[in-house]
Amino acid sequence: MSNCDGKTLAPMSISNDLYNDLVYYFKYASSAYTMPCLRPNGNHLVIEISNPLTDIQCFVARDDHRKEVVVAIRGSASVTDIVMDAQIALVPFISPGVKLPSGARVHSGFLLSWDSVAMQIVTIVGRELARYPNHSVVTTGHSLGGSLAILGAVTLQQNFETTSIRTYSYGAPRVGNKIFADYVNATFGDKAHRVVHGNDGVPTMIPTQFGYHHHGVEYWQYTHPPSEETTAKCNSEGEDLTCSASIPSQGVNLAHMRYFGILATTPFCF
């Protein structure tokens, strides 16, 4: 890794426990491509949710060992999804129960996709938290699903203010502008995990010149083999030019479709 002055920097590797968590929640994200997924990551399937107009598919699962309610959202898998991906105008974040700082803007296609399932997810998660008040909430997704996972985390945090909420995205594009990114960073801090594999071009496909800004914290698996020693924790501000943003976008490529040696559509449903 090197900084913008060309000086080599020692990457800040992560702990084994954190690395294992990044892999674990990727398995939920990967499983969201398979419906039905009867036992996501070996846990209890609460409900599967889909919207035929936006073609968004997701599930809510419950892990009573970790005491978590997990929302996993599928990435792009159809022409409809690609059309949503292309709607890059920045718009106010209008969603059930959400009130963000003035000037916060998000990707209009991602917001439309999220809002098509948001009320159902808020209702189901609320029901689960009423039954299991000591459970936390996790949102996760790959690619488009990762972008919706952060919108989901913001929505759920505002609807359930006393609940601990974490979010994990893998290969997700930029979601909103800097005001939105700053809000996410201030609200979630290290509870927002944004994972990038090598030269995956999707996270940088929407350029900052369009007004977009990544939220932190990025975890960049910058070389192989995948391990905690080859995964760097990047600057928490979001746009760390020594991490994946240092590589010009190559769009959807092989690195986008495989994380931690796992094909992004692999089901973990038993």
Whole-angstrom CA distances from 142 to 3, 113, 197, 255 are 28, 14, 11, 12
User: Is residue 192 a contact partner of residue 184, using CB atoms and an 8 Å limit?
Assistant: yes
Is residue 225 reached through a cis peptide bond, with omega within 30 degrees of 0 on the bond before it? Answer: yes
- Crossing angle for the helix pair 178-188 and 144-159, nearest 10 degrees? 60
Q: How far apart are the first and last CA of the chain?
A: 39
Catalytically active residues, by annotation: 143, 200, 256
User: Is residue 243 a contact partner of residue 220, using CB atoms and an 8 Å limit?
Assistant: yes
Please give the structure tokens belonging to residue 263: 């094909």
How many angstroms from the chain centroid is the CA of residue 132?
24
Please give the structure tokens belonging to residue 78: 């159809």
Question: Token pair 């992004």 is at which residue?
Answer: 264
